[in-house]
Amino acid sequence: MQIVMKFLKKKYGKEIRSFLKTKPDIFKLLITTILSQRTRDENTRKAAKILFSVASKPEEILKLSDKKLQKLIKPSGMYKQKAKNIKKLCKILVEELKGRIPSSREELMKLPGVGNKTADIVLSYGFGLPVIAVDIHVEVCNKRLGLVDEKANYMEIRKSLEKIVPEKDRYLVNLGFVKFGQEICLTRNPKCYACPFFDFCQFKNKFSIKEKYINEVSRNWDKGSEKR
């Protein structure tokens, strides 16, 4: 893990630290994370931008009709269920919590539409707590690298990583692996030939992309030599 963390820090550390210096609007962060469920990052950004241009506070969202809210967040997918949860969540925030966003995992998990990842994202990036949020990139990358068990669930992955990553470096894990997963360790068709962890990655097959590439180059070179 030390090798991995050293790479993430060198490659993405400066960018991540710069991002974390900007204090987020915790309500927007919460809603955006709900919108991100089971959709792609670009769809999340699009839906959030449209929604917040119209309503960016719980009181404002409550004034929207169900159909209007659904239309605004439609790019995120599953928009009917997400709209329903967002409306319920906003009502609880306004009527019961007086606008306060819970800062504990237990309280957050009681809110409609809030699961493990959403709660940990809010705790980590909203409140600055040393919590590792596990999204698809964190899960896929760490299972491929053999840093967590292949069959581990969300909480098992989170606990395993928090055991081996010091609190001071946990800020690197989520955003670092998100970037690494988007650039190199793609969920589909990973760029194994460009991976700095190729030598110890558990994912590589007997005929890996890198080996195929090397073998192909060798064959072409041999053919060229035969003609000469």
Which residues form the catalytic set? 117, 135
Phi, psi values for residue 164, rounded to 5°: -105, -5
Q: Residue 180: enclosing H or E segment and its boundaries?
A: helix 171-183
CA dist., res. 70 & res. 179, Å (int)? 30
For residue 12, which of 179, 213, 204 has the smallest C-alpha distance? 179
Non-local (6+) Cβ contacts of 63 within 8 A are: 55
* SS3 state at 127: coil
The amino acid occupying position 105 is R
